[in-house]
Amino acid sequence: MDKNSKILLLNLPSPPYQEVYRDTAGGFGIAFPSSKNDYGDTTGKTLHPFLPYASSVLLDAGCEFNVLDCQNLKLNKVEVLNAIKKENPDIIFSLLSLPSLKKDIALLNEIKRDNPNISIIGVGTVCHVLPDEVLRMGGVDVILRDRYPYVANLANLVRAVQESRRISSVSGVSYIKEGKIIHTPDLPEVELSKFPPPSYERIKLDGYESVTDVNGESYLFISVLGSKGCPHSCSYCPYPVGFGRKPTYRTPKQVVDEIEYLRDIRQIRGFVLREQSFTLDLKRAEEICDEIIRRKLDIVWGCESRVDAVSWELLKKMKKSGCVRVHYGVESGDPELLKIAKPGVTLEQIQKAFRITKEAKIFAGAHLILGWPDDNLKTLENTYKLVSKIDPDFVYWNYLTPYPGTKIREIAQKNNLILTNDWKYYTSHTVVMKTRYLNAQQLYMAERRLIRNLAKKKLQKLILQPDLNNLKFRPLISEVKRLVGRIFFPKKTSS
């Protein structure tokens, strides 16, 4: 292959009947049901950090390349095929996600059929964890097994393909040779700060999703990757699988430099600091806030955090620097299940975190997981009681999903709790495992009851408001509408 071969960084469109978010669940991705019967026309549009990070690596290597984010462009299958013909690349790096894997591969097979000389390289957490399965499905010539953001050895692989060298000399790749799957040695973990700063020059940034603050104001947002890796031992969590267990950080200056560039050059005001827990390193979190304040950046931002790693003083500083939204992993309201779901976290810490976050006038979101191995009607009632008590601005209901590589999958397999191994159901919003006491239908009914009770409480709170035209009630009105929608249009289970 010519050394000046053209490369395409590809984010495939959401497949039929799914809205896919590829940058969630440790990079496995989650999916919502959709009524659309073709690829594209999606509302789930967030910029995956792979695209700007891979862009910077290719720029440094002097490669000719382009970026095609089919989700943002809302391309259907025909439009995708036509766009790739027009680009006429020699190499494609394609993001893959777990719930859309079959459809992703099906579309890549069509691309390969129309363009047989293209080398297609798959990236993503699913490629890191299930390389054999991905390769056997066809459509992909090589798997790059890098951990998130999947660019540690990207330049070396490109050079090997361009120079027609044996890719067996490149670490962290998998491929098929003479019917046999070959895995080269794993890559060592690369410090995030060692990567070149992400490049946005060839990425169209308008059209992505917005972040909402407590006053109902919406801001287009871009994810800024500040760290990766999580040392905590939550059995269900796919973060350590996709991001690694050892935390690795970009410096506060690197993070804020990126934010300032996006604000000044690309007119972006909203950001999500993409870290497993922004407050994992408290000193660093404060330094990022201080740097934003020192530069007088007029921005808004949100993050994820653990409830046991925030304080009133830190939240005040976060608010001053522009933080408008914090998402907490609550997981369960049952004290015994919480010991398994979130080791080291107590109900009291959860309640305090939500209280002080609201006092700081920051939007507080709660992530709940239903369907723990020992979940029953009583434990689910305890979860509802906690949610009712902390009164989050937004509740993210998810079913426990035994992602490959997690401890919870081993537990579920050992106890015969898994209902299906068809990855298309591994959306985090579909029941794919039962509990020791509840089947899929009972879990579904329990979720609907919890949502109905919460919607009733939120609606009562809304009715008591003296002025519904006040902008500050927009988030509450939006949450009531969403909860009512979940009641009348519930998610389907896998059985």
Name the 3-class secondary structure at 294: helix
Percentages (nearest 5) of helix, strand, coil residues in the chain: 40, 20, 40
Question: Which among 481, 388, 382, 490 has a CA at the least distance from the CA of 444?
Answer: 490
Phi, psi for 120 (deg, rounded to 5): -105, 125
C-alpha–C-alpha distance, residues 99 and 101, integer Å: 6
Judged by average pLDDT, the poorest of 36-45, 351-360, 425-434 is 36-45
Task: Read off the pLDDT of residues 129-150 as tens digits, 9 standing for 90 and up.
Answer: 999 999 999 999 999 999 999 9
- 469 vs 467: CA distance, rounded Å: 5
pLDDT in tens, 292-321: 999 999 999 999 999 999 999 999 999 999
Predicted TM-score (pTM) of this structure? 0.90
Query: Per-residue pLDDT for 493 more than 50?
Result: no
Helix (H, G, I), strand (E, B) or coil at 263: helix
In this structure, what token pair is assigned to residue 5?
Answer: 């071969």
Q: Which residue has the higher pLDDT, 456 or 432?
A: 432
For residue range 9-62, list pLDDT tens digits in order.
999 999 999 999 999 999 999 998 888 888 886 766 789 999 999 999 999 999
Q: 209 is written with which tokens? A: 């999703």
Residues in the chain: 495
If you write DSSP's letter for every residue of 148-190 in order, what string do you get? Answer: TTS-TTHHHHHHHHHTT--GGGSTTEEEEETTEEEEPPPPPPP
The answer to whether the Cα torsion of 137, 142, 146, 151 is positive or negative is: negative
> Over 60: is that where the pLDDT of 467 sits?
no
Q: Which domains does the chain have, with CATH numbers?
A: 6-189 (3.40.50.2300), 209-488 (3.20.20.70)
16 beta partners: none
Tell me phi and psi for residue 421, to 5 degrees.
Answer: -110, 15
- Alpha-carbon gap, residue 477 to 461, rounded angstroms: 10
Whether the per-residue pLDDT at 491 is higher than 80: the answer is no
